[in-house]
Amino acid sequence: MAAVPPPEDFRCPISLEIMKDPVILPSGHTFDRVCIQRWLDAGNRTCPISKQPLPEHPSLIPNFALRSLISNFTQVSSPLPQPYSVDPQEVIRLLLSPSLKSPERVALLDQLTRVSKTDSRLLRILAESGAVSVVVKCIDSGEPVLQEKALHFLLNLSLDDDSKVGLVAEGIVGKVVFALRRGVGDSRAVAATVITSLAVVEVNKVAVGSYPEAIAALVNLLRIGNSRERKEATTALFMLSTFPDNRVRAIQCKAIPILIENANSGSERAIEVLNLLVKSKQGRDEMVRSSSILGILIGILSNGSCRAVQHALSILTSLCSHSQKMCFKASSFGVLDICVGFLDSEIDKIRRNANSLIQVLQENQR
C-alpha cells in the first residue's frame, strides 16, 4: 500500500521536515524546536513567517496538540514503535516557570486539555507525574480564563476511572469547591461536573461529601446559579446522594426547598434527587412540612415525563407511608384515581410504582 504523505502542517516552515518537537513562538506560528532555536541563536528577533518582532528571550511553548497528531501519524505510517510524544516533566517545568506569562500558561493548558480528551495514555501519565498539584494552583490564581482551563483539564483527568481516587488524594476537592463558590464564567458549572465525575467511585462519594462546604456549595449553586450551573449542580448532588450520609448533609444544607422549587420549574433531575432524599427520615419529615410539594408532584403525574412520573410516584408512596396527613391530602386531591389510570401504562416501573401507592392509599382508608 502506498505511503500516505504527511499533512503540510506537520512540516517545519524552516526545514520543511516533519517536526519532532513542535513549539509555538509568541507570534503564534509553530516551528521545530531545533530549527527555531538555531534561528534565535543567530541573533534573529523576528518571526520567520510573519516578520513580527519578538522579545529578547521569546518563550517556546510546546505544541502538544500538533505533537500528538504527528506522533499518531508516524505510528500508523511506520512499523517501528514510536516513543511517547509528551514529556510530563517538561509540562510541569513550564507551568511552574515564573517567566511563563498568563496567555502562554492558558495556551499550554488548552493544548493539554485538547490532546488529553482523546488520549487515555496521556491522561494516566499526567495524573501520575505530579501535573495535578501544579494545575490545581491555577484554580485560585485570580485569572478567570486560567481557572476555567485548569478545571477543564482536571475534568478530563477525572474521566479516567483509574485516576478518580488519586485525584481526590491529590487534594483537588478543596480547589474545586473554591471554584463552585467563587468561580467566574463557566468555571462553576465545570467544577460541578468534576464533582459528578469524581463521585462515580463509591469511596469518593464519602470523601467529597464529607469535605467541608462541598455539598453546601452545590446547594448554593442550585439557589443562585444560571440554568447550566443549576443543572450540573443537581447532577452532582444526585451522584453524591446515592451515599446515605450525604443525603443527611444535603438536607441539613436546606437542599429540599430549593430542589422542590427547581422541580416546579421542570427539572427532572431535581425530582430524582428528591427521590433519594426521601429515603431519609429527615427528608420525609421536611417534605411533609412543605406546603407546595404535593401540588407539584400531582402536576408531574399529570404532565411530567415518564421518568419524572416514576420518581413522583415513588416519592408520594414514601411520604404517604410516613404521614397519614399526607396520605389523606393526597387522596382528597384525587391521587388514587390518577394512579388507577397508570395501571394501564406500557412502562412496567410506572405500573409497579402506581400499584404501590394505591395500596398505601387504600390501607389508609380502612
Nearest to 105 by CA among 77, 163, 155, 144: 144
Cα distance between residue 236 and residue 198, in whole Å: 9
pLDDT for 61 equals: 81
Question: Could you tell me the sign of the dihedral formed by the alpha carbons of 186, 192, 196, 199, in that order?
Answer: positive
pLDDT for 82 equals: 41
Nearest to 297 by CA among 326, 325, 340, 254: 326
For 11, counting Cβ atoms within 10 Å of its Cβ (0-12 exposed, 13-18 middle, 19+ buried), the class is middle
Q: Residue 213, Cβ neighbours under 10 Å: how many?
A: 15
Nearest to 190 by CA among 238, 155, 235: 155
pLDDT along the chain (366 residues), means of 10: 68 87 86 89 88 86 77 60 54 76 82 72 73 87 90 88 86 96 94 95 94 96 95 96 96 97 94 97 97 96 94 97 95 95 94 96 83
Residue 347: strand, helix, or coil: coil
CB 316 within 8 A of CB 335: yes
pLDDT for 279 equals: 96
Nearest to 273 by CA among 218, 228, 226, 229: 218
Give the global pTM. 0.76
Q: Can you spell out the DSSP letters for 187-238?
A: HHHHHHHHHHHHTTSHHHHHHHHHSTTHHHHHHHHHHH--HHHHHHHHHHHH
What's the order of all strands across the beta sheet hosting 22-24? 30-32, 22-24, 61-62
Cα distance between residue 110 and residue 309, in whole Å: 42
Instruction: Say how far residue 258 (Cα) sits from the centre of its chain.
Output: 21
CB 356 within 8 A of CB 336: no
Instruction: Report the chain's terminal Cα–Cα distance, integer Å.
Output: 82
Nearest to 234 by CA among 201, 261, 203: 261
Q: Residue 89, Cβ neighbours under 10 Å: how many?
A: 11
pLDDT for 118 equals: 67
* All residues at 6 or more sequence positions from 98 whose CB lies less than 8 Å from its CB, including other chains: none
pLDDT for 332 equals: 94
Nearest to 19 by CA among 32, 4, 38, 33: 32
Nearest to 358 by CA among 324, 320, 322, 325: 320
> pLDDT digit string (tens) for 205-259?
999 999 999 999 999 999 999 999 999 999 999 999 999 999 999 999 999 999 9
Nearest to 316 by CA among 290, 348, 343, 347: 290
